Chains A and B, each alone.
Chain A
Amino acid sequence: MTSTTEREVGRARPRKEDAHLITGQTNWTDNIQAGGLLYMAFLRSPLAHARIERIDVAPALQRPGVVAAFTGADLADGLGSMPCVWPVTEDIVMPAHPPVAADEVRYAGDPVAVVVARDRYAAADALEAIEVDYEPLPPVLDLEGALAEDAPLVHADKGTNRCYVWPLRTGEEFDAVRERAEVTLKRRYHQQRLIANAMEPRAVAVTPVAASGEYTLYSSTQVPHIARLLLAGVTGIPENKLRVVAPDVGGGFGSKLQVYGEEAVALDVARRLGRPVKWTESRSEGYLATHQGRGMIQDVEIAATREGRLLGLKVDLLADMGAYLMLITPGTPLLGAFMYPGIYKMDSYEFTCTGVFTTRTPTDAYRGAGRPEATFAIERIMDDLAAELGVDPMELRRRNWIRHEEFPYTTVAGLTYDSGHYEAATDRALALFGYDELRAEQRKRAEGQDAVRLGIGVSTYTEMCGLAPSRVLRDLRYAAGGWEAASIRMLPTGKVEVVTGTSPHGQGHVTSWSQIAADVLGVPFEDVEVVHGDTRAAPQGMDTYGSRSLVVGGSAVHHAAVKVVEKARKVAAHLLEASEQDLDFADGVFSVKGSPEARRTIQEVAFATFTSHDLPEGLEPTINAEHLLDPDTFSYPHGTHLCAVEVDTETGQVRIRSYVCVDDVGRVVNPMIVEGQVHGGLAQGIAQALYEEAVYDDEGNLVSGTMADYLVPSAADLPDFVTDRTQTPATSNPLGVKGVGEAGTIASTPAVVNAVVDALRPLGVGDVRMPCTPERIWQAVREARS
């Protein structure tokens, strides 16, 4: 018999995913081999903006091992423009985006030709033989300058660098609340450009069956289902002849939430040559060619009473689109549009985002996508306001946040937060952190004129997860829905296959989905396998991003499992010669009320259904079930993060002394996985605060163009984190879960910068631009002193 005496949900199960990863028996896209495999390499523009006067790939064909070479013009008859699926306004400017540029290059890294050769070295060598004459055009790099009347244009045919203007006005007029406010503050914050640095570089391989026109595309992608749909459109390959597989995928962080030109080119080249092809980016190539994140100027104004009651918030964003609109480039900043008010009550909110084209690598989603920027702005300005009012930053937050008895609460931005308990998370965090003791030490150091100052940073964040109700996406002009699919196959041997439309790349869905299904079905965790990431095996899905997978995809698994039990109940009732109402179901066993010896396990029912020898008259011989879940609303994780930093005012060096976070991500399926997600998120958010920036020079060259120049933090650069949780279940899904993939990244960046500024405020420093490098801190201290 099968009995699960201990519930699976809530258990810290070590992951099923690990075995092949720790033994090297992996299936990365770059591992894929096929008979006659050819390697592709792309020649990329060395200039940020130029007209291609002449291009000749013929010399490359003379190089050893080279099979073919194509320019953008050569490929134009086989490939359409790369799609953007989020035209955020009716009058958005949507320029063409050829997968390989034919006439003009618009960022350093824009591909101009592709070489196909018998090995990767030969392909790389042959790039050098391609001749290109460029006529340089002026780069467009400054977001405000780009909007000037006489600015040079990224897309001359469009007549403007302004991609769109997207406004939101809710509550009272901001001008009116500004009028009656006793205190107003205006701040400008900069969100630097970031490079995601998933450890696995992007890769794509295509195996064609030329005779039947069928193609299998393997890609290091977060979105195999979206990729299949859109690549069918770009290449003209019928959707039902295109199979997309995301094999082992080594991290994404939004950078693989994309449909890339290289994927389309690989399909087209495989089609033209009738041979399998593969391309893997080098890390430095990826720095140019993989979309980047953030890249925003935020003008923020807050209005409050003298007692520190918030009245209103006004946000003006300039968002750097880069050179082209990729999958969701224009919508990414808007994912934060509703989140700037954070956890606070206020009467007025105005938001405007202006998308701007520049001659840089396109931007798009990066871990958090819009919400980190929103949280940074509100949490930074709350600290600035606290300083202005002379109150403790935590006290100011308490005076304004939604109290736990006020949930569900509709914010000024119009979102209804279903649940939360900011007091509980904060009280727990303050206790773990030793807030009062650290404040006392801080005062002592400041009084003693200690060169190393202590700073304390606060961040009480919320975010929205569970993308997304399809009707909301329609209202935001997103081109698709936000449902997720799950199906459960009960195999004759009693084993279970869960088929999910999510596409994990490190998140541990195989383990967590097994736990969810095992609980509902009452089968052992070990008996469940999870199938994902292959459009042939898991044909429906909306994939993995935006902390949606557990909330939407995990809930879909739960619903599908419930359906299996209900179908199995009919068969069990027949086998036990009882009515359905007289059956109990617990721990995977159907038993007849009052006669517990009359029983069938759900796995026995699966076998009986397989043989179908004795089923109720007219019953379809299956207990398999499918569920597509379109969520009604979003989920809202929250938490309190506290950071203590020591800042050396003489060298500018920052050391994180302690970092405490208490997150409320609702019910927890696997606490070990959740904690891991928080750790990784913290590391990335701290990295934005202190270390990372995609730096461009005045010509539009990426200066931080290799991993040696772009500071991805190592173990030696990060502290041990103290993490804890409160659990306020979400009310919007059967599991009570809220999502955790991005919480750490969203919360930590302002906590760290607030701490750095807090350390320096007594010296007269009011802000330090990210990343808060020693040089910038030293400069800020120097300027404040002079």
Chain B
Amino acid sequence: MTHISVKVDGTTYEDEVEPRLLLVHYLRDRLGLTGTPVGCDTSNCGACTVDLDGESVKSCAVLAVQADGGEVTTVQGLARDGEWTALQRAFHERHALQCGYCTPGMIMAARDLLRDNPRPTPEEVRQGLEGNLCRCTGYQNIVRAVLAASGQEVTA
């Protein structure tokens, strides 16, 4: 067991964990932060994407011990006082989710994308979200939502 100290969505947790414990399982099974789901076992789908120290990471590809001393933001930590972020609002208004399973990862990845590139082109959004799979939407409304959240005019 290894001692870790991690700040998640504003709260600091101290825990003893197995060195092999994945960050996503730490979040889900130990902290009960089940807003971050697991969609695959090969880090292809991106459903488990969270922010670790300012970078989006797939939390199934990070060990909990690697987050020691770090700061994690999950989809559950985005809204402030019940106020959704621009991305969350855009996903809702643009119907960018259906089953919603990929949505936490998609929003966290899009957040990182917009941080790096505040006014992306549609093509840049598609390339930027390549590591996050959605099976419901065909991506078109996700692209529209991300563009809308970046403050750009979106047709249709």
Contacts and interface: CB of A to CB of B under 8 A. Distances in A.
Interface of A: 14-15, 17-19, 21-26, 28, 30-31, 33, 119-121, 196-201, 248-251, 253, 280, 282-284, 505-508, 672-673, 675-677, 679-684, 706-708, 712, 714-716, 718, 720-721, 744
A324 B119 CA distance: 52
Contact of B91 (A18, A33, A282): A18
A283 B79 contact: no
A682 B139 CA distance: 11
Interface of B: 18, 20-21, 25, 28-29, 32-42, 44-45, 47, 74-76, 78-79, 84, 88, 91-93, 95, 97-104, 107, 122, 125-127, 129-143
A505 B107 contact: no
A722 to B, nearest CB: 9
Contacts of B122: 720
A14 B107 CA distance: 18
Contacts of B107: 22
Nearest to A200: B101
A748 to B, nearest CB: 10
B36 A251 contact: no
A714 B95 contact: no
A721 B88 contact: no
13 contacts: A18-B97, A31-B34, A121-B21, A199-B136, A200-B101, A283-B40, A283-B45, A505-B99, A679-B140, A680-B98, A714-B126, A716-B127, A720-B140
A361 B10 CA distance: 45
A14 B93 contact: yes
A196 B135 CA distance: 9
A608 B47 CA distance: 49
A152 B54 CA distance: 58
A19 B78 CA distance: 13
Contacts of B37: 26, 28, 30, 200, 250
Nearest to A248: B100
Contacts of B100: 17-18, 21-22, 26, 248, 250, 506
B135 A253 contact: yes
A17 B96 CA distance: 12
Contacts of A196: 135
A17 to B, nearest CB: 7
Most buried by B among A23, A30, A200: A23
Contacts, number: 189
Contacts of A680: 98, 135-138
A120 B84 contact: no
Contact of B135 (A22, A121, A280, A684): A684
Given A24-B76, A199-B39, A249-B99, A714 B140 contact: no
Contacts of A14: 92-93, 95
Contacts of B88: 22-23
Given A22-B75, A199-B102, A712-B44, 20 more contacts: A21-B103, A24-B34, A28-B34, A119-B29, A198-B135, A199-B45, A199-B133, A200-B37, A200-B101, A201-B39, A249-B99, A251-B135, A673-B95, A675-B141, A707-B44, A714-B129, A715-B126, A715-B127, A718-B126, A721-B140
A33 B31 CA distance: 12
A48 B100 CA distance: 35
Contacts of B91: 18, 22
A718 B123 CA distance: 11
Given A14-B95, A200-B101, A712 B135 contact: yes
A676 B93 CA distance: 12
B97 A22 contact: yes
B42 A283 contact: yes
Nearest to B20: A121
Contacts of A249: 99
Most buried by B among A28, A249, A708, A714: A714
A24 B136 contact: no
A76 B44 CA distance: 38
B39 A283 contact: yes
Contact of A718 (B35, B47, B104, B139): B139
B28 A23 contact: no
Given A23-B35, A707-B42, A715 B143 contact: yes
Contacts of A508: 98
A708 B84 contact: no
B142 A506 contact: no
A676 B141 contact: yes
A26 B138 contact: no
Contacts of B20: 121
A675 B33 CA distance: 32
B131 A714 contact: yes
Contacts of B143: 715, 720
Nearest to A685: B138
Contacts of A120: 25, 29
B76 A22 contact: no
Nearest to A198: B135
A197 B99 CA distance: 13
Contacts of A676: 95, 98, 136-138, 141
A770 B95 CA distance: 31
Nearest to B92: A18
CB-CB nearest 7 A-B residue pairs? A24-B35, A21-B100, A250-B101, A506-B99, A679-B138, A683-B138, A506-B98
Contact of A201 (B38, B140, B141): B38
A250 B99 contact: yes
Most buried by B among A18, A21, A24, A282: A24
Contacts of B140: 679, 718, 720-721
A33 B101 contact: no
A28 B130 contact: no
B26 to A, nearest CB: 12
A196 to B, nearest CB: 8
Contacts of B136: 199, 251, 506, 676, 680
Contacts of B36: 24
B102 to A, nearest CB: 5
A201 B37 CA distance: 10
Contacts of B42: 283-284, 706-708
B95 A121 contact: no
